[in-house]
Amino acid sequence: MKGRDFPVIFELSTPGRIGASYPEPDVPRRPLNALLPADQIRQVPPGLPEVSELDVVRHYTRLSHRNFSIDEGFYPLGSCTMKYNPKIHEDAARLPGFSRLHPYTMPEDAQGALELIWELEQALAEISGMDRVTFQPAAGAHGELTGILMIRAYFEARGERRTKVIVPDSAHGTNPATAAMAGYQVITVKSDARGNLDVQALREAMDSSVAAIMLTNPNTLGLFEEHIVEVEEIVHGRGGQMYLDGANFNAILGVTRPGDQGFDVMHMNLHKTFSTPHGGGGPGAGAVGVKAHLVPFLPVPVVEKEGDRFRLDYDRPQSIGKIRAFYGNFGNLIRAYAYIRSMGADGLRQVAETAVLNANYVLARLRDRFDLPYDRLCKHEFVLSGTRQKKQYGVTTRDMAKRLLDYGFHAPTIYFPLIVDEAIMIEPTETESKRTLDEFIEAMRAIDREAQENPQIVHDAPHTTPVRRLDEVRAARQPDLRWRGG
């Protein structure tokens, strides 16, 4: 059963077939209507498939083979850092003392977990140059909102009314969305010819009504902001706050600290930078670090250490409050802790240096085949343009991304950032070998040759995947997820 003939689990159903058997109950049997109110008892049996255990194992194993994952192949997904995560960190997260801990266990009975959170906070504060870190946000965008809400609370506490947040035109889309959700007017500032935030445009936009600037550094072009010191002077000079979108933190680990660059608050995608398998929307952990003047506004609770004991502090009158149930995605914190402890300071710096080296190697070998809108030394990722192929051969960036699937690679991020026409964003990460990078480079070069010599094969790609091109808009907005029988 391959390709389009692959049935759903319901189509495998055979009346009377079972996949599990249970022992006889060791308590007296009672009728269901004696246990539940009548209105909570369904009148017809649920339409569950009747399948054997072997049916289930084979079905879901076949399904799993349709997934593309970092365990299966290269995943050059720019701005998302889809790198290999050591499996031993999964073992750590599954230790029974952690995995079986109830979220509402009393602090005195969860000292080990609180100690881990405390030590992870100290480590990330040191790595980022911040003073305190909260782990409550569920993911990066949630961390952004938490950070901006703290900035808003900071100004409210000072009696200042500021109404605007500045974002560059190369920003992640979540940045303006976050600012708008927090009640701010979003001011977009353009990039300059070298891919930096345009300092003169910033100077003109910055006034006492601006609460913050939201920057990504290195930015989504994979370029380090060359004028970050001047940007900091302009923003702080008018009383604004510096917010760092830490999605690209992987590029600067152990090399430079955002807190030293003048940022007041930043979020760190633990699921990208610090060893948690992710994709498909989770699991995430958007830790947020802040400088001392923002510490009073951290969400509650905060883990505090008193002697050798740890406690949860809710008595924080200026806090923005609780922003999530329980205490964050604790499993991700364990993975991040294991990653940092196993890498050490030198290892984290090597992560950034290797990620940057790999990106520049791939860039150097592709620059003669694709347009390069910002021709600079890149950091962890770079952005090519498929404009040449589109104009000369009618082959779009989307066509080339789909064709990469036939070569065994996950497609990179495309059409982002928006300021690059036919953008192709590539992030090799530090965990790929030179052999893998060379294979990817050869695939990209082969696709460029195909665009010239046989553009139809690129137009029609992918040719080898279980499904071909989907209606992506309809799939996102009208997903068909419910079995209705046939």
pLDDT reported for residue 75: 94
If the chain, 486 residues long, is cut into consecutive pieces of 10 residues, what is the mean pLDDT of each piece?
A: 70 93 91 94 91 96 88 90 93 96 95 98 98 95 97 98 97 96 97 97 98 97 97 98 97 97 97 85 86 98 97 98 92 96 97 98 98 96 98 97 97 95 97 98 98 97 90 88 76
Q: How far apart are CA 4 and CA 11, in angstroms?
A: 14
Cis peptide before 373 (omega within 30 of 0): no
pLDDT reported for residue 68: 87
Contact by Cβ (8 Å): 204, 228: no
Burial category of 413 from C-beta neighbours within 10 Å (exposed 0-12, middle 13-18, buried 19 and up): buried
Other beta carbons within 10 Å of 468 = 13
Q: Of 472, 424, 429, 360, whose CA–CA distance to 75 is shortest?
A: 429
Cα 440 off chain centre by: 23
Q: How far apart are CA 395 and CA 388, in angstroms?
A: 9
3-state secondary structure 175-200: HHHHHHHCCCEEEEECECCCCCECHH
pLDDT reported for residue 486: 60
Q: Of 236, 287, 280, whose CA–CA distance to 128 is shortest?
A: 287
Query: Which phi and psi (to 5°) does residue 275 adopt?
Result: 70, 60
Q: How far apart are CA 109 and CA 312, in angstroms?
A: 12
Identify the helix (H) or strand (E) that includes residue 29.
Answer: none
Strands 302-306 and 286-290: unpaired
Q: How far apart are CA 294 and CA 130, in angstroms?
A: 10
pLDDT reported for residue 98: 96
Residue 257 corresponds to which amino acid? Answer: R
Collapsing DSSP to helix, strand or coil, 456 comes out as helix
Please list, residue by residue across 119-131, b when 16 or more beta carbons sit within 10 angstroms of its beta carbon and e when fewer do: bbbebbbebbbbe
Q: How many residues does this entry show for the chain? A: 486
Contact by Cβ (8 Å): 341, 353: no
Other beta carbons within 10 Å of 434 = 9
pLDDT reported for residue 485: 73
Q: Which residues pair with 266 in a beta bridge?
A: 244, 289
Q: How far apart are CA 409 and CA 82, in angstroms?
A: 13
Helical ranges in 53-95 per DSSP H: 53-65, 88-93
Structure tokens at 255: 């090399």
Angle between helices 140-157 and 174-181 (to 10 degrees): 40
Is the pTM value of this prediction over 0.85? yes
pLDDT reported for residue 249: 97
Q: How far apart are CA 146 and CA 285, in angstroms?
A: 12
pLDDT reported for residue 281: 59
Tokens 């608050």, located at residue: 265
Contact by Cβ (8 Å): 4, 43: no
Tokens 């992710």, located at residue: 278
Structure tokens at 409: 């690679």
Angle between helices 330-366 and 434-453 (to 10 degrees): 50
Cis peptide before 299 (omega within 30 of 0): no
Residue 455 corresponds to which amino acid? Answer: P
Q: How far apart are CA 156 and CA 166, in angstroms?
A: 19
Collapsing DSSP to helix, strand or coil, 32 comes out as helix
pLDDT reported for residue 2: 45
Tokens 């969305």, located at residue: 177
Query: Which phi and psi (to 5°) does residue 355 adopt?
Result: -60, -40
How is residue 424 annotated by DSSP? Answer: E
